[in-house]
Chain A
């Protein structure tokens, strides 16, 4: 059965304090590893798709990386506006499996 596990469940950072979020996955026939940002009361906003081990993608203060078993979302010098829940998902042959998310709070 496909599984996606995210850690930590919650993370509190001071503004400017860099850190990483982890996403471990077990999926048959990975077609893509996806990262989303979700603000309270809104739909998830697409951030990145990674397709193969070793791939990296960047957007502003965020960088996503992928290995054969894990993906990391690195946040460099975060700002309060980066506070949100970050969701990871793995696309298999027929379905996409979501993790439960990491709730990030960045304190000024």
Chain B
């Protein structure tokens, strides 16, 4: 089935550690996104990529990093510089930017 796969679903991290969230899509979409969602709040854009080997900062990029070496993959690294990383992270993709966005099932990150 076509779709967006995020892993892991649940992740625990100790303070001071970096952690990488995986996102793979088989929809042949050019654009990919990472959003953060906190309880009771809306979606906030972390990073997005319009094409392979290119990405731009979103509204809350500080403390995060991404790469886009393959069209299908857009991993997100949450670094130790991110001061409040506990949240629900959503990966998404669209044919091109501005078009309908499709989401993965999300990853829960908890800092312990």
Taking Cβ atoms with an 8 Å cutoff, the residues of A that contact B are 31-32, 34, 36, 41-46, 49, 87, 89, 91-96, 98-101
Contacts and interface: CB of A to CB of B under 8 A. Distances in A.
Nearest to A44: B103
B53 interface: no
Given A94-B97, A98-B42, A101-B42, A46 B106 contact: no
Interface-centre pick from A42, A43, A98, A100 (highest chain B CB count, 10 A):
A43
Contacts of A94: 97-98
B102 A46 contact: yes
B99 interface: yes
Interface of B: 4, 6, 41-43, 45, 48, 88, 90, 92, 94, 97-106, 108
B21 to A, nearest CB: 13
25 contacts: A32-B100, A36-B103, A41-B88, A41-B106, A42-B105, A43-B4, A43-B6, A43-B103, A43-B104, A43-B106, A44-B43, A44-B103, A46-B100, A46-B102, A87-B43, A89-B101, A91-B98, A91-B100, A95-B45, A95-B98, A96-B94, A96-B101, A99-B42, A100-B42, A101-B42
Contact of B99 (A31, A36, A44, A99): A31
A55 B97 CA distance: 22
A58 to B, nearest CB: 17
B26 to A, nearest CB: 16
Contact of A42 (B41, B98, B106): B106
